[in-house]
Each structure stands twice: as structure tokens, then as C-alpha cells.
Amino acid sequence: MSDIGIELDYIMGRYNYWLFCILMMTGLYITVSRGNLIKKIVGLNIFQTAVFMLYISMGKVIGGTAPILTEVPETIYSNPLPHVLILTAIVVGIATTAVALALVVRIRESYGTIEEDEILELEHDMDFGSGAAQGDPVA
């Protein structure tokens, strides 16, 4: 009986992390497996968000509350530091997304597609098709 209790405690102490693992894998899978450039970015966002969740989970204190101090004495507060870190990370994430999207726009303009496979084909043609050497300018 007590064994089961310990097991349950163990699982309760970790299920959050496991859920986050699943989410992270999904995001990573989208990033690496999808050929659409935009979708890769979305996958990346999911991946990053999952990591944010890991941080936030570790900052949580059961029975605690948000780290905005109140008048009530003896309040337990959750850990503010992960929040700060993740705030920064979110901002970094959105900045990266913006840059990535700008790149996608330019890629679409230059290649006419945002599918990785088609782009690879085009690049393959550039390398071996027209006889142009690799170091030549191809605007």
C-alpha cells in the first residue's frame, strides 16, 4: 500500500515534466519533419513554448501563489526567477520568429516556393544544372 503511495507521489511529482516532454517532442518533430518553411517555424515555436513550460513548472510551489507580494503574511510564493527567465525567452522567441518569417518572405520571393523539397531541387539545379559554378553569383 505504502509502495503504491510512494509510486503515486513519484508520478505526481513528475507527470508535469513528462507532459512537457511529449509536447516538446511534438514541436521538434514538426520542425524536423515538415518541409514547409512556415510550418517549421510554428513547430519551433511549439518546441520553445514547451521548454518555457518546463521552466515555469519547476518554479511552481504547491500552495504558493504568484510572486506579487500581498499584505497577507505567511504567504508562500512561487519562484519568480524562472518567470523572469522565460519572459526573456519568450521575447527572444518572438524575435527569432520575426526574423525567420522575414527570411521566408525573401525565400518565397527568390525561389517562388516555400517548400523545402522544391527549394532543394532548385538548388540542385543551380549546382549541377546550368553549368554555372558554385561560387558564381546567382542573384
Site for other proteins in 28-57 (CB under 8 A): 28-49, 51-57
> Are the beta carbons of 89 and 48 closer than 8 angstroms?
yes
121 binds other proteins (CB under 8 A): no
Q: Partners of 115 in the beta sheet?
A: 36
> Cβ 122 to other proteins, closest distance in Å?
9
Amino acid at 108: R
Interface with other proteins in residues 91-110 (CB under 8 A): 91-110
Size, binding site for other proteins by CB under 8 A: 112
> Are the beta carbons of 47 and 31 closer than 8 angstroms?
yes
Q: According to CB under 8 A, which one of 1, 4, 74, 133 is a site residue for other proteins?
A: 133
6 binds other proteins (CB under 8 A): no
> Are the beta carbons of 61 and 76 closer than 8 angstroms?
yes
d(CA 90, CA 30): 19
Cell of 62: 504547491
Q: According to CB under 8 A, which one of 6, 88, 124, 129 is a site residue for other proteins?
A: 88
Minimum CB distance to other proteins smaller for 91 or for 129: 91
Q: According to CB under 8 A, which one of 7, 12, 129, 130 is a site residue for other proteins?
A: 12
Among left, alpha and beta (phi > 0; psi -120 to 50; other), residue 63 is: left
> Cβ 6 to other proteins, closest distance in Å?
11
